[in-house]
A and B are shown apart, each in its own frame.
Chain A
């Protein structure tokens, strides 16, 4: 008698990245009469129809408070919200859902750790080590808590390519270093840090490590167990989800030992005027009614990403970065890259002699090309490279060669206008 062999192979991952563009309704519009070439993905990426639909459904049919009511809508909202948390856990390979805290975004995630863990652990003479390439959101929260505790903020320098000075980073680590907070991928330079190695070095002196993964999650498979980081922060809106939702992964024993960040409903078990007991993880850190729709949208964006072969995605984005780099340097006299790290995500930060980044941004916008211009919330990086601002084109899975053509045409228009 023959028996059918049960196969449980996962469905094949999608490798045809170019076909995904059609999934993004925002890309189907004209801007200033021209088809939109959206190259500001490191600031916010567009959302696929699947995420937009999930958010609309949540708002239309399942809108209710979570973890409260016994009625049907509240149960649906709770299931959707907790379902999203489970997707996030799997996405970053966290050991448990209790270690996934929903926040407003990366900024709030970092502020949570700085305020809660920082106030608990930092003493006068202690040090918090960051790097010179951090976004302001991974600088200012630490400055605030250092000012309150008497600890010192130390920044490890970067080299002329925009790579972390590994030797200086190692030298900066000591028994005084209590917290290390560093970015996985630099938003202003594109540099990809060797995070797992840096985490190991920081753990060597007993420091707790937070990784800002806001720019990493849309491009790389991020695995908190492989990185062995203690905290990981990221935002929904840079990974094809909505704004206003973000994640803090925290190692359970640390989250358990930390005091609450904000007080309110949801984060408590019992409240009396003389004593309040706090809720279990992760709710202890989720005071108030959460952004349910945001979490649902993020969950849908994760479902979307989980279908995609990230090796194919990386190859696609890298090819666009190479093409844009080659064309910019080859075709635009006076163009210079800011950020030339060997390991680089799809961020093209550049300046053009005689044309300020803002003028460049305005001119290419009129050609339907959206890029970011300015200091990218990384003023120390601008200072390091001696520029007041850069223009930045950042690529996502839905970009293609036509977007690079359009960008180049826009830059040439600016050169023509400015140099006559």
Chain B
């Protein structure tokens, strides 16, 4: 596997081609607009939080394969999780993307995002959806989310 195949793993390409949980969520109670000013990528994240849990989550927008796949993988993994578990996962993925310390365990499919570590300019593409998630579950929506 060369470096490019390491970045564009099959799971990334698959989630880019067929993003999961894609579309608006009519009963969302948090709607986060996130932009990556470097590339103009835009993401809208819809989250329905109830009883301390992410009951439902979806996203819309345009972006590169890394950004779309990261959003798709994130929604798939987060749906049904508690707010606390979501924040823990945010921290783990953040560590994975920035390469601080060893790669966290039990990330399953999310481990496919590790390829971006070799591409500093692409780390922001992968982290955009996660920053939006954090803003949603900590109730800081209303403030624009960017990767800057």
Chain A positions within 8 Å of B, measured between CB atoms, are 354-359, 362-363, 366, 373-375, 379, 382, 388-389, 413, 417-418, 420
Expressed in whole angstroms, the Cα–Cα distance for A267 and B54 within the complex equals: 61
Chain B positions within 8 Å of A, measured between CB atoms, are 3-5, 7-8, 13, 17, 38-42, 62-66, 68, 119, 122, 125
Query: Do A382 and B40 form a contact, CB below 8 Å, given A356-B63, A356-B64?
Result: yes
Contact B66 A389 (CB under 8 A): no
Expressed in whole angstroms, the Cα–Cα distance for A394 and B55 within the complex equals: 48
- Partner of B65 from A375, A418, A420 at Cβ < 8 Å: A418
Query: Do A373 and B119 form a contact, CB below 8 Å, given A356-B63, A356-B65, A417-B8?
Result: no
**Which B residues touch A418, using CB under 8 A?**
8, 13, 65
Expressed in whole angstroms, the Cα–Cα distance for A363 and B13 within the complex equals: 14
Q: Can you report 21 A-B residue pairs in the complex whose CB atoms are below 8 A from each other?
A: A354-B17, A355-B65, A356-B63, A356-B64, A356-B65, A358-B39, A359-B65, A362-B7, A362-B119, A363-B4, A363-B8, A366-B4, A374-B38, A374-B39, A375-B39, A382-B40, A388-B42, A389-B41, A417-B4, A417-B13, A418-B13
Expressed in whole angstroms, the Cα–Cα distance for A403 and B94 within the complex equals: 38
Contact A417 B5 (CB under 8 A): yes
**Which A residues touch B119, using CB under 8 A?**
362
* B2 and chain A: residue at smallest CB distance: A366
Contact B41 A388 (CB under 8 A): yes
* A382 and chain B: residue at smallest CB distance: B40
**In the complex, how many residue pairs between chain A and chain B have their CB atoms under 8 Å apart?**
53
List 12 additional A-B contacts (Cβ < 8 Å) besides A356-B68, A388-B62: A355-B65, A356-B63, A356-B65, A358-B39, A358-B64, A358-B66, A388-B40, A389-B40, A417-B4, A417-B5, A417-B8, A418-B8
Contact B40 A379 (CB under 8 A): yes
> Nearest-CB distance from B38 to chain A (Å)?
7
> Nearest-CB distance from B143 to chain A (Å)?
21
Expressed in whole angstroms, the Cα–Cα distance for A153 and B66 within the complex equals: 37
Q: Which A-B residue pairs are the 5 nearest by beta carbons? A: A358-B64, A356-B64, A375-B40, A388-B62, A374-B39
Residue in B5, B40, B41 with the greatest tally of chain A CB atoms within 10 Å? B40
Contact A358 B4 (CB under 8 A): no
Expressed in whole angstroms, the Cα–Cα distance for A357 and B64 within the complex equals: 7
Residue in B39, B68, B122 with the greatest tally of chain A CB atoms within 10 Å? B39
Residue in A359, A382, A389 with the greatest tally of chain B CB atoms within 10 Å? A359
**Which B residues touch A363, using CB under 8 A?**
4, 8
- Partner of B64 from A359, A413, A420 at Cβ < 8 Å: A359
Expressed in whole angstroms, the Cα–Cα distance for A358 and B122 within the complex equals: 9
Expressed in whole angstroms, the Cα–Cα distance for A417 and B125 within the complex equals: 19
Residue in A356, A357, A366, A420 with the greatest tally of chain B CB atoms within 10 Å? A356
> Nearest-CB distance from A184 to chain B (Å)?
24
Contact A366 B125 (CB under 8 A): no
Expressed in whole angstroms, the Cα–Cα distance for A355 and B8 within the complex equals: 12
* A363 and chain B: residue at smallest CB distance: B4
Expressed in whole angstroms, the Cα–Cα distance for A420 and B66 within the complex equals: 17
**Which A residues touch B13, using CB under 8 A?**
417-418, 420
**Which A residues touch B64, using CB under 8 A?**
356-359
Expressed in whole angstroms, the Cα–Cα distance for A415 and B64 within the complex equals: 14
**Which B residues touch A357, using CB under 8 A?**
39, 64
**Which A residues touch B3, using CB under 8 A?**
366
**Which B residues touch A420, using CB under 8 A?**
13
Contact B125 A358 (CB under 8 A): yes
> Nearest-CB distance from B5 to chain A (Å)?
7
* B116 and chain A: residue at smallest CB distance: A362
> Nearest-CB distance from B9 to chain A (Å)?
11
Contact B66 A374 (CB under 8 A): no
Expressed in whole angstroms, the Cα–Cα distance for A417 and B17 within the complex equals: 12
Expressed in whole angstroms, the Cα–Cα distance for A366 and B3 within the complex equals: 8
Contact A362 B122 (CB under 8 A): yes
Expressed in whole angstroms, the Cα–Cα distance for A357 and B63 within the complex equals: 9
